[in-house]
A and B are shown apart, each in its own frame.
Chain A
Amino acid sequence: MTPPLLQLSDIHKSFGAIKALRGAQLELRAGEIHALMGENGAGKSTLMNIIDGILQPSSGEIRIDGQRVQIDGPATAQRLGIGLVHQEIALCADISVAENIFMARTAQTKRPLMDSADLVARARAVLAPLAEIDPRLPAGRLSISQQQLVEIAKALTLDCRILILDEPTAALTELEAQKLFTILRGLAARGIGIIYISHRMAEIFANCDRVTVMRDGQHIRTDEVADLTPSDVVNAMVGRKLDTLYPPKMNGERGAEILRVQGLTDRRYQDVSFTLHKGEILGIGGLIGAGRSEIARGVTRLEGAAKGRVWLNGQEVVLRDYADCIARGIVYLSEDRKGDGIFLDMPIAANVSALNLRQVAGRFGVIDSGAETAQAQSIGETLRLKAGSMGHRVASLSGGNQQKVALAKLLAVKPRVIFLDEPTRGVDVGAKAEIHAILRGLAESGVGIAVISSEMPELIGLCDRVMVVSEGRLTGELSGPDITEAKIMTLAAPGALAASRNQN
């Protein structure tokens, strides 16, 4: 029997007193797509960094084709045929997409001059099956999803036998993710072993061959995907039984209208009208770039200069800037948590108080640090935030807990309307379910909730009503049993508006 392509056994890794890995193992066969799952903090990324030579294991054994190897750095990993697509996007914003894709090769080449025409042509060939991206554009001009696709393209150009993708679809739409899997299937058919990390259950079950589940730095189980159900995987990940992934939907009639937006128009979207109601969660679906985030940022005055009318609790309001929105209780949770959602280097308490410092300040604007800590503590408790102390920097938390801090920051001003842009991106299953339950609770307590999501199951599982945006226009609204993947995709597809008009 041929030995597995890659075998890691009994890997341990400690950072000081913290044991990140305690007996992790993984076996990757040539030609398979192997899903690696686990909650944030389970040690997946640490294990991948060990395979890529960025970190050295404290103990344990790595074998490639049955030969014991020592991977002392990313250069060695590359020589051994290992390619890793990191979770974080790391492109040079000012240089072209083509130069980004071939950065590694440029570093190694002996040729003194760059041949940009050749680079562009080759970049176009790599990108073509993934997406329509002009390789001459500077990478910084692309949307997050396009940047993610460029990161993937970058790894595809490396001549590797072992390809690791760490949450590559976190920023992608379903359609883009499907294209990616078509490519991965092709690579696997050529004998490449692929390790695939993701929190998206559906795509794992549709596309992967085997799955390994990790928890607390340990190996829990490895099985053929065909022999498992999603709830088996979730139970193995969290170590306890989660009955349902999503909270129950609204029962009965929706309550009074909280927010009404009419005729919202700006450069990126036209004539958008919708309402939010008590007890109801509104989903906003559509492809990335369709204008969903822009609409939410237009209402909240964070971006652009949208024209249109807004009513809050039946009264028309004029919103001049975001500070004005916060004062009226209309807030926005950013899709880019690290970029503009939180202050990574600052304490948790200072993050939570950021929207309205006056709440924790006494006379003359002197901050009462006791009140600030208490505020963070009490909101943190309702969100089940896991943190040692409210004085710790947010950077020290896991992704799920960082997201809870971002949410706590908004809840601190007791908002009446919250727009949440990808509220569970990069968040593990356990924290995800908790965030969904919190949103349901807020809706029931009378806060208007609108959720923008690229994750189909989230829209379908969480929302009571979904409005779909395509090319800057509302193409339809679905509610109850009508919220299905097929119907959302039909409305989201470019040209959906014209199609629906032709039918009428």
Chain B
Amino acid sequence: METQRQTFLSRLFGARETGLVLIILALFLIMTFASPHFLTWTNMRAMTMAFSVEAIVVVGMTILLISGGIDLSVGSVTALAMVVAGLLFLNGMDPWLASLIAILVCAGVGAIMGFFVTYVGLHHFIVSLAAMVIARGLCLLGTGGRPLGLFELPENFKWIGIGSIGVIPVAIIIFVLFVAVFDFLLRRTTAFRLVYYTGSNEKAAAYSGIRTKRVIFLTTVLCSTLCGVAGIIYMARFGSAQPTFGVGMELNVIAAAVIGGASLSGGKGTILGAILGAILLSLVSSSLALLNVSVYWQDIIRGSILLAAVTFDHYLVKRQAMGGRA
């Protein structure tokens, strides 16, 4: 009994998620005292809305990072979803059908990247860099570089972006659903365990009878598909399709996942951790804004947080390796 409690406690305190929650709570406390505008319903709601859609992309990126991949195209693909759905809608298509097609187009982009990574054998980094540029080019080509105003979008469609159920915004409900479902899938299901095996040691996974190419292909497709979903929610919220949306999003998203415990070498990470990472980054941004810190400082501070998290992780792993090897 005693030992069981000890392992539970040591696991709780050993877990990265706990550390992040503590840091977030501390920041919360500090901000509550530092700014009267912080702990207000409006601010909380605005803050959650700000990262709730991007968090869906974080989910996709985290899964891809666990499998050992990476995707730089998430920002452009998110914009591509908006542009495709927006153009189809302006040409008279039902917005729901247009959205479905746009998400499928994003999945197609993922499939093309997956093909080049697994069957041609190129690196994720390069393939997604190319996809990032191409998808952005398509967005600009399709719109002539100007945002598409979608004022005619029906209310029931805009509801997914700006509506609420009771006092809770729909976008936040969607975000919580995605996070809860994918966190469970990743922790508990066989299909997603294969993602961990593949990322941890691709060759050992192949030597365990796992079809690793298929795993990598599918995680690449999943990440792009989730970008598509995010793009549609953004479109419903903004009531427009912006071809330049999401520039630099990939860095934010990768940073969140890595702060949450994912590793660029694969095999590690959780959805919960990554979301906490996203919350931390978002909390820092809005706190700095509330304290009237220059926008330029924000990037510097966020970059430093990323560096600190990775450095901390590095020493943690090193210490474990030393202590564990007796």
Partners in one complex: yes
Main secondary structure of the interface of A (DSSP, over half): mixed
Which of A74-82, A105-113, A253-261, A319-327 has 4 or more CB atoms under 8 Å from chain B? A319-327
Which of A117-125, A203-211, A277-285, A344-352 has 4 or more CB atoms under 8 Å from chain B? A344-352
A-facing residues in B163-214 (Cβ within 8 Å): 188-191, 193-194, 196-197, 200-201, 203-211
A495 and B320 alpha carbons, distance in the complex (Å)? 51
User: In the complex, what residue of chain B is closest to A354 when comparing beta carbons?
Assistant: B208
Contact for A389 among B7, B191, B196, B210, CB less than 8 A: B7
The answer to whether the Cβ of A12 comes within 8 Å of any Cβ in the partner chain is no
The answer to whether the Cβ of B124 comes within 8 Å of any Cβ in the partner chain is no
The answer to whether the Cβ of A63 comes within 8 Å of any Cβ in the partner chain is no
Q: Could you say which residues of chain B place their CB within 8 Å of the CB of A393?
A: 320, 324
Asked if A357 and B326 sit within 8 Å, CB to CB, the answer is no
The answer to whether the Cβ of A481 comes within 8 Å of any Cβ in the partner chain is no
Asked if B203 and A365 sit within 8 Å, CB to CB, the answer is no
Asked if B209 and A16 sit within 8 Å, CB to CB, the answer is no
Tell me the minimal C-beta distance from B184 to chain A in angstroms: 8
Tell me the minimal C-beta distance from A451 to chain B in angstroms: 18
Name the residue in B189, B208, B321 with the highest tally of chain A Cβ atoms < 10 Å from its Cβ: B208
A391 and B211 alpha carbons, distance in the complex (Å)? 25
Tell me the minimal C-beta distance from A406 to chain B in angstroms: 9
User: In the complex, what residue of chain B is closest to A301 when comparing beta carbons?
Assistant: B209
Q: Could you say which residues of chain B place their CB within 8 Å of the CB of A461?
A: none
A-facing residues in B295-326 (Cβ within 8 Å): 320-326
User: In the complex, what residue of chain A is closest to B200 when comparing beta carbons?
Assistant: A343
Asked if A325 and B268 sit within 8 Å, CB to CB, the answer is no
The answer to whether the Cβ of B228 comes within 8 Å of any Cβ in the partner chain is no
Asked if A326 and B209 sit within 8 Å, CB to CB, the answer is yes
Tell me the minimal C-beta distance from B89 to chain A in angstroms: 36
Tell me the minimal C-beta distance from B222 to chain A in angstroms: 16
Q: Could you say which residues of chain A place their CB within 8 Å of the CB of B211?
A: 321, 323
User: In the complex, what residue of chain A is closest to B207 when comparing beta carbons?
Assistant: A340
Asked if A365 and B207 sit within 8 Å, CB to CB, the answer is no
Contact flag A365-B326 (CB < 8 Å), given A302-B206, A332-B207, A334-B207: no
A-facing residues in B191-245 (Cβ within 8 Å): 191, 193-194, 196-197, 200-201, 203-211
Q: Could you say which residues of chain A place their CB within 8 Å of the CB of B321?
A: 395
The answer to whether the Cβ of A438 comes within 8 Å of any Cβ in the partner chain is no
Q: Could you say which residues of chain A place their CB within 8 Å of the CB of B189?
A: 361, 364-367
Asked if A396 and B193 sit within 8 Å, CB to CB, the answer is no
Contact for A345 among B11, B190, B268, B325, CB less than 8 A: B268
Interface size class of B (residues with CB under 8 A): 20 to 34
User: In the complex, what residue of chain A is closest to B187 when comparing beta carbons?
Assistant: A367
Asked if B209 and A358 sit within 8 Å, CB to CB, the answer is no
The answer to whether the Cβ of B267 comes within 8 Å of any Cβ in the partner chain is yes
Q: Could you say which residues of chain B place their CB within 8 Å of the CB of A357?
A: 190, 193-194
User: In the complex, what residue of chain A is closest to B268 when comparing beta carbons?
Assistant: A345
A326 and B208 alpha carbons, distance in the complex (Å)? 8
Q: Could you say which residues of chain A place their CB within 8 Å of the CB of B205?
A: 343, 354
Contact for A343 among B7, B188, B201, B322, CB less than 8 A: B201
The answer to whether the Cβ of A476 comes within 8 Å of any Cβ in the partner chain is no
Asked if A340 and B268 sit within 8 Å, CB to CB, the answer is no
Contact flag A395-B191 (CB < 8 Å), given A341-B204, A343-B204, A354-B208: no
Number of contacts between A and B (CB, 8 Å)?
A: 94
A340 and B201 alpha carbons, distance in the complex (Å)? 7
Asked if B190 and A322 sit within 8 Å, CB to CB, the answer is no
A365 and B323 alpha carbons, distance in the complex (Å)? 35
A321 and B207 alpha carbons, distance in the complex (Å)? 11
Asked if A365 and B191 sit within 8 Å, CB to CB, the answer is yes
Asked if B322 and A15 sit within 8 Å, CB to CB, the answer is yes
Tell me the minimal C-beta distance from A320 to chain B in angstroms: 11
A344 and B189 alpha carbons, distance in the complex (Å)? 21
Asked if B200 and A365 sit within 8 Å, CB to CB, the answer is no
A364 and B321 alpha carbons, distance in the complex (Å)? 36
User: In the complex, what residue of chain A is closest to B3 when comparing beta carbons?
Assistant: A389
Asked if B206 and A15 sit within 8 Å, CB to CB, the answer is no
Asked if B204 and A340 sit within 8 Å, CB to CB, the answer is yes
The answer to whether the Cβ of A199 comes within 8 Å of any Cβ in the partner chain is no
Asked if A323 and B204 sit within 8 Å, CB to CB, the answer is no
Tell me the minimal C-beta distance from A486 to chain B in angstroms: 35
Binary interface profile of B, 277-297, with partner A (CB < 8 Å = 1, else 0)? 000000000000000000000
Asked if A339 and B203 sit within 8 Å, CB to CB, the answer is yes
A81 and B320 alpha carbons, distance in the complex (Å)? 32
A332 and B200 alpha carbons, distance in the complex (Å)? 20
Q: Could you say which residues of chain B place their CB within 8 Å of the CB of A354?
A: 197, 205, 208, 210
Q: Could you say which residues of chain A place their CB within 8 Å of the CB of B11?
A: 391
Q: Could you say which residues of chain A place their CB within 8 Å of the CB of B323?
A: 15-16, 18
Asked if B201 and A344 sit within 8 Å, CB to CB, the answer is yes
Asked if A341 and B207 sit within 8 Å, CB to CB, the answer is yes
The answer to whether the Cβ of A467 comes within 8 Å of any Cβ in the partner chain is no
B-facing residues in A456-486 (Cβ within 8 Å): none
A-facing residues in B107-140 (Cβ within 8 Å): none
A420 and B189 alpha carbons, distance in the complex (Å)? 30
The answer to whether the Cβ of A355 comes within 8 Å of any Cβ in the partner chain is yes
User: In the complex, what residue of chain B is closest to A372 when comparing beta carbons?
Assistant: B193
> Would you mind naming 20 contact pairs between A and B with Cβ atoms under 8 Å apart?
A15-B325, A15-B326, A16-B323, A20-B326, A321-B211, A322-B207, A323-B209, A340-B203, A340-B207, A341-B207, A343-B204, A343-B205, A344-B201, A354-B205, A354-B208, A357-B193, A361-B189, A365-B191, A391-B7, A396-B325
Known: A343-B200, A395-B325. 15 other contacts (CB 8 A): A18-B326, A302-B206, A323-B210, A340-B204, A343-B205, A345-B200, A345-B268, A350-B193, A354-B210, A357-B190, A361-B189, A366-B188, A367-B188, A367-B190, A393-B324
Nearest 4 CB-CB pairings of A with B: A396-B324, A340-B203, A357-B190, A323-B209
